[in-house]
Structure 1
Amino acid sequence: MDKLPKIALPALAGIIFIIIFASRSTITIGSGEAGVLYKYFGGGVVTDEPPLGEGFHLVAPWNKVFIYEVRQQEKLEKMNVLSSNGLDIKLEASVWFQPKSEDLGKLHQEKGEQYIDRVLLPAIRSAARSVVGRYTPEQLYSSKRDAIQQEIFEETQKIVDDQYVQLNEILVRDVTLPPTIKDAIERKLRQEQESLEYEFRLVTAEKEAQKVRIEAQGKADANQILSASLTDKILQDKGIDATLKLAESPNAKIVVVGSGDDGLPLILGNN
């Protein structure tokens, strides 16, 4: 009985050592993540091998694994920029990005876990200032929103493309102008809209008047042609045809031959 504690203590210490060793030698990487291996006795950050993928991994207890999220992420950035005429503009943009998985070791070695603050956000601010500085407040407020968004994306992509970051999209969510400038732009836009509506009404009225003139001219031309074609002989022949048709009618009538103004029969009837 006296020997039992002497055997149990080393055994207990061995079990504790195994548990600690196992806990430091295993790592589980979750969905949408990847691990960068750091070897204390093997050259530091591993950059010439693919990062550790999702699932369970065994590593030496003296090494360390840095876990990164490699799925698409979103970062909202608010910034103050200047327009082409020097006015202060507040811009709110959302960036969609993810680290390049194949270069995750280099990203960790050169940029570190704070790569978003060290690389991505400064690049967006620089691109936004450069792009917005080309436009007037009126363009920023209305017609150029999509163009500005695309230009900021393209310029940011040029900066981060060799920084091991994949840029997927930049969305300009809001452009805030000084209140006085915003009110002036809105007044101008309303005036332009009213002017366009007035011009539209004028054009519509002119088209309607033109239509009436064309119809009137057409009727005048038709009457002129008809008048020119109705000679005395044609009118006399038509009168004779009408007289014959009336004479054939069963209705009671009186026909006075040669009593009309043109020598045509004059037909009198009570029906």
Structure 2
Amino acid sequence: MRIAARLGVRKVRVTGGEPLTRRDVVPFLAELSRIPGIEDVGLSTNGTLLTKSAAALRAAGVRTVNVSLDSLDREEYGLVTGRDFLPRVIDGIDAAVAAGFEQIKLNCVLMRGRVERQFEPLVEFAAARGLLLRFIELMPVSTTEVLSEEQFLPVREARRLLEARYGALLPEPQFRTNGPASYFQIPGRAQRIGFIGAMTNLHFCESCNKLRLTCDGKLRPCLGSYLEFDIMKPLRAGAGDAELEQFFLDVVERKPQQHDFRDNYVPGRKMVAIGG
């Protein structure tokens, strides 16, 4: 990360799996936040362990938190996640609000037949806490089954359903959060919601500025690509800073113009192994 920061990386987000299961995650995040040039350290979590760790994370320098929340219906949440943890997640979100993070995002994955009834409850839940709610299209990262008509729900359809309840959403192209989401304001409210349409937005990749470093040391220039480069090889060989800088630059140079999700993509790794 020190090398990446020297080359211009300003934001680091630690993901999983579930990063809060790692015992030393708080001191690790504190170290990241102290690297010269790193301006924003964030965390993505399922929220189940946030209650006991939110204050420590904020004190360690974590500025932003993303929490997965696909439903506020306890039974539906259990069906989606396989765990009856919704009360713990809500408590964790409230603990994060109390801890004073600069921004908290709620990520809802669009799954046909499962989340449509949750749109209004999620919007109101986010509004009551001042949180940024985002709806994310399913992507064939781990399996292509998610693209079936029975499961896939495009963001344009989700937007229509939301507009049927709240009125025409107002585009806010000037509002960015260092990612490819498109944001809209709910009319009559100081509330934004976002849409991430990796599958249906043909211009999705134009605003992507991310690299992913996997848990086993592979640097990936694109989530929806087979390309990955083993940074452990030069590290084990004793590479100096100049060599590592060139490694990063070479990977950035290989960043594709478009992801491969629409081109009969066959998943090679589980999302838990890539980081998401």
Q: Structures share a fold, TM > 0.5?
A: no
The interval holding the TM-score normalised by the smaller chain is under 0.3
Q: Quick check: which one's strand share is greater? A: 1
TM-score with structure 2 setting the length:
0.21
Q: Quick check: which one's helix share is greater? A: 1
TM-score with structure 1 setting the length:
0.21
Larger Rg: 1
